[in-house]
Copies of this chain bind each other. A is one copy, B any other.
């Protein structure tokens, strides 16, 4: 049945509210008279629209009681909050494929190092020490901030980078992602605008969508976000937050320049934007690069990090460094939603590895090994016509341009059929303007299957 103009308009409005969870399953639809007045249509048009929606199953009518959003439908998923993207290239695609893929398939699309590149001996020593830990470490909830010794260690690391903060301004969390999530819960309301880099870490988009934020991309240049674009977006969208990886930017591996850092901070100050700087890749830098947190001194910047990239992703431990009033509020929030932060067992393992003489050597050799892998991967990719957009100073990512006319999503789908997980460019791009880009994890390119599969997928991408 064709939908008449005004009836269709009402139907679209109700479908939109259901899709955006403005109406949840079982919830009563707006009154017929009320919606008619609101939309400037006749009550009979609304009745007609509701009955057509009932016919298609989106709405249920209860005799004598009105219309309700259908409750037989599955509850809305996160993916339905935003525009329904093709799951092949939505922000969950890479995480779900990487986390749940068979353990032995190559995953150049994933965001972590192979187990063999991690500090296994220190981790095993830390586990043996754990077996002899104090009783309470093995059995009790931890303190709300996390163990003081580990926070003091972080405070020393920050001081070396030029950010002097006491351990009382550091809160340990269940993970780096949880730290970003807690900050968003504290500072965002549904509908708030948030600036991110374009491209940015795909899970920032997934997380911000879970907060029902409006995500605004700022083009990322080789030296940071485009400062003029940033200032304009800050003025016109009045965002609450800017969420970024400044050191070894994900996915490009780029580094923020001091001049851009300064301009970004000034624009953020002018428009009262709080900055969340996720420095999870910082330990992989050859030397510390400019930090927004360091320039600002944690007034406007909240610094976040974790140990997942260099110590262990299994031992979950993240942190937030922020103003004392924010730390207090985050503690309440973390107690309410997780009944505490880092697991004392996890904190003990992390502290054990950090205190292991071999860990610093591990970091040094890891940086050398990654530098070699970046060079070698770039060379091997160039044989397929794939070129890095820039050569990063550190880290394990190469953000690459595919040969002319190649569609990265199609290439990723074709590679997945052959058991190789890739990370196509648009997953990272809010504006979806990176269809010909691909992020490669140079530490995950060692498997002999990767290059042949990639070559075939480039030649015959899947539509």
Q: Which residues of A contact B (CB under 8 A)?
A: 21, 24-28, 71, 74-79, 91-92, 95-96, 99-100, 103, 112-113, 115-116, 118, 120, 123-125, 127-128, 130-133, 135-145, 174-178, 181, 185-187, 189-190, 192, 203, 206-207, 209-210, 238, 240, 272, 308, 312-316, 323, 325-326, 328-329, 331-333, 335-340, 343-346, 349
Contacts and interface: CB of A to CB of B under 8 A. Distances in A.
Contacts of A210: 185, 333, 336-337
A206 B333 CA distance: 8
15 contacts: A24-B189, A24-B240, A26-B272, A74-B323, A75-B325, A100-B145, A115-B136, A115-B140, A120-B138, A127-B127, A140-B314, A181-B338, A207-B337, A210-B336, A343-B343
A135 B116 contact: yes
Contact of A187 (B75, B100, B144, B312): B75
B137 A314 contact: yes
Contacts of A336: 78, 91-92, 203, 206-207, 209-210
A63 to B, nearest CB: 15
Contacts of A113: 139
A144 B100 contact: yes
B120 A139 contact: yes
A333 B123 contact: no
A201 to B, nearest CB: 10
Contacts of A115: 135-136, 138-140
A123 B96 contact: no
A177 B178 CA distance: 14
A405 to B, nearest CB: 32
A120 B138 CA distance: 8
Nearest to A174: B174
B142 A344 contact: no
A310 to B, nearest CB: 10
A143 B99 contact: yes
Contacts of A315: 138, 343, 345
Contacts of A132: 124
Contacts of A144: 95-96, 99-100
Given A24-B189, A131-B131, A138 B123 contact: yes
Given A127-B133, A127-B138, 7 more contacts: A75-B187, A95-B335, A99-B141, A112-B140, A115-B139, A127-B131, A131-B131
A124 B120 contact: no
Given A131-B131, A339-B177, A332 B78 contact: yes
Nearest to A123: B138
Nearest to A346: B343
A337 B178 contact: yes
A315 B130 CA distance: 12
Contact of A130 (B130, B323, B325): B130
A173 B286 CA distance: 36
Given A131-B127, A189-B24, A345-B349, A332 B92 contact: yes
A77 B332 contact: yes
Nearest to A101: B143
Contacts of A124: 131-132, 138
A142 B314 contact: yes
Nearest to A324: B74
A238 B26 CA distance: 9
Nearest to A103: B136
Contacts of A308: 141
A214 to B, nearest CB: 14
Contact of A143 (B100, B328, B349): B100
Which 8 A-B residue pairings sit nearest by Cβ, starting from the closest?
A26-B272, A74-B325, A127-B131, A115-B135, A206-B336, A77-B329, A118-B139, A177-B339
Contact of A312 (B79, B127, B138): B138
A79 B26 CA distance: 31
A340 B100 CA distance: 10
Q: Interface centre among A192, A336, A338, by most B CB within 10 Å? A: A336
B75 A316 contact: no
A107 to B, nearest CB: 11
B78 A314 contact: no
A142 B96 CA distance: 11
Contacts of A338: 174-175, 177-178, 181
